[in-house]
Structure 1
């Protein structure tokens, strides 16, 4: 496999890694579209590991403290005991379908619901949800110093604790907090922007490929990003923000789950119904696992204690558990 490793020394040195703004010369159309997973073919190979029945699943997240796997099907969030997925899950019915599920360091689960202008804070211990109102179609939420940061689609902004806001985004879809700084993935501008959550001040953005869809933080204080349209895995150092790695990942990569104990970035390939594990501890990603999955693997989560990876089918082909 060919190597593509790039370092961008500043936000303006290289055109492909340059700053992103309203007058960005790389935006060649006024009608921007976010990248989507590929329409998966039928799965001729038997999925690896164990597959248990599950409804079509668009989102998943793992809560390590509770050993709980959370999944979303339409307006229902299911809370599975990750040690026994065959047990019936507890369910939480939401006012609207969530756009994201995000585990928080304090053991809760955040579910942003754009059609209801709500963010649910779900307690896995009780199976109850506190609903927080955020007008503006919330797409994601993350804990930052002082409270919650919430990405708002309608206003192209991120609401911050204390009434502050970071503005000027096209579609802020995913948030990652690292070292007290918030990093915002804009899936229309396909860019990554650091934000000071105390003031709302934005730092220079970097291009995140040609169609980034998902991001995750690793234990080296980097932001990992899946470029679905460009078919790459990207790694950004964050102090300052610099693109450190680009690595080819053919097959319409989409879902991303990071295992900090094993330094593995797990990526699903929606064009080929596969799960690939990359060791990201070195100077460039190194493929160490590749297995067939259930059809249309649009979401994935990992248990950092056991290394088990949970891959959910968006077509209802089941929930797959793979233990490397």
Structure 2
């Protein structure tokens, strides 16, 4: 892998962005992407007690671990930690779930597309495929800890955390395994202009050439990369939970384009493609903020108080509604900006 030097990244012209801090050459002489000697994944800031009521409506439910909305099936999918299940709601009627799907373990991630939900269950070594809106479950065993998955045409790409790999599944079987340079494979994102894998331990992002089966160039993603999502411009957006920032990387080639300060415990991340809004949760403030990301730097458009410990967020592109899940058991919040 060709590594970019810290100097070459700082030289990128960023309107209003912060300079990317480099690792000490004496402390890490052999790895420009290494942050500390014994890396640990960034965690969300612990939320204080709420000082104001959450905006919008709150759907009562236990601890939420992931949330996503699917336009094709017109559904909202909420993953609960305990009991380990998915609750599937009709976006037009959120009063009660249409279907509840029991899972073999807590889902850590959710992606939805083309009428199906993909849920990574690393604790059980299972990738759950759930048809929407019916809730029909197919549990596929994965060697290792499947942290996240995304559909890529007829294939499914699975980030396998402990094996530091991306498995390419075709018709439910592993057709290819892609490894190299990762400390941990925690998420995989299809930008429409290339595949990117997020490594939380190394706090970095890497390009993946699926056809060639190679892990290509990598770049530091701040001091504590937490979550990633694709936007409408072929980029991958990443929250930096330690430094408090929203980063934007273009792909092919992988280049850091923006690093915008987001104080308050930036963590959860979702994208509204219709409005070009990136929604970022601030767990240290119990807030969610909507940024317009069309220009040279993000522009804040909305800010709302949330449920406590808002670790996860989703958005309905059609209506613009935002869904914030509480990791403290305060439910799922529905906000209409």
Please, what TM-score do these two structures have when normalized by structure 2? Answer: 0.88
Is structure 2 residue 52 aligned with structure 1 residue 57?
no
**2:17 aligned residue:** none
Partner of 2:165: 157
2:199 to 149, 173, 186: 186
Alignment of 1:229-248 (within 5 A): 229-248=242-261
> Is residue 17–residue 207 contact of structure 1 (8 Å, CA) maintained in 2?
no
- 1:163: Cα distance to partner? 2.3
2:324 equivalent among 311, 321, 324: 311
Q: Distance in 2 between matches of 1:320 and 1:67?
A: 18
Runs of 4+ aligned residues of structure 1 deviating over 6 Å after TM superposition are none
User: Deviation of residue 85 (structure 1)?
Assistant: 1.7
Deviation, structure 1 residue 28: 5.5
Equivalent positions of 1:36-47 (< 5 A) are 36-47=43-54
Query: Comparing 188-197 with 72-81, which one deviates more in the overlay?
Result: 72-81
Deviation of 1:25 after TM superposition, in Å, equals 4.4
Q: 1:223 to 1:26 in 2, by over 3 A?
A: closer
Q: CA RMSD in A?
A: 2.0
- Which stretch shifts more, 304-313 or 45-54? 45-54
Q: 1:23 to 1:262 in 2, by over 3 A?
A: same
Q: Deviations over 1:4-53 (max 9, x none)?
A: xxxxxx9331374889x994145354321111111101111111111221
Deviations 1:70-118 (A, max 9, x none): 11112211111222221234111111111211112x2210011112211
- Aligned residue for 2:138? 130
Runs of 5+ unmatched residues, structure 2: 11-19, 170-174
In structure 1, the residue matched to 2:106 is 97
- The aligned counterpart of 2:4 is 11
What secondary structure, in the 3-state scheme, does the structure 2 residue paired with 1:91 have?
Answer: strand
Cα distance in structure 2, aligned partners of 1:97 and 1:22: 39
CA–CA separation in structure 2 for the residues paired with 1:48 and 1:208: 31
The equivalences for 1:135-284 within 5 A come to 135-161=143-169, 162-179=175-192, 181-284=194-297
Residue 104 of structure 2 is aligned to residue 111 of structure 1: no
Post-superposition offset of 1:144: 2.0
Aligned to 1:7: none
Distance of 1:298 and 1:208 partners within structure 2: 19
> How far apart, CA to CA, are the structure 1 residues paired with 2:153 and 2:262?
34
Distance 1:227 1:55 in 2: 27
Distance 2:61 2:29 in 1: 43
How many residues are aligned here?
Answer: 313
Determine the C-alpha separation between the residues in 1 that align with 2:185 and 2:130. Answer: 22
Does residue 72 of structure 1 match 2:67?
no
Aligned position for 1:5: none
Q: Distance in 2 between matches of 1:169 and 1:26?
A: 10
- Do 2:33 and 2:204's aligned partners in 1 also have CA atoms closer than 8 Å? no
Instruction: Check whether the contact 1:209–1:227 (CA below 8 A) recurs between aligned residues.
Output: yes
Provide structure 1 residue ranges, at least 5 long, that are not aligned to the other structure: 1-9
- Structure 1 residue 145 displacement after superposition: 4.2
1:239-260 deviations in Å (ceiling 9; x for gaps)? 3111111111000111111001
- CA contact 2:65–2:109 (8 Å) conserved in 1: no
Provide TM-score, normalisation by structure 1: 0.91
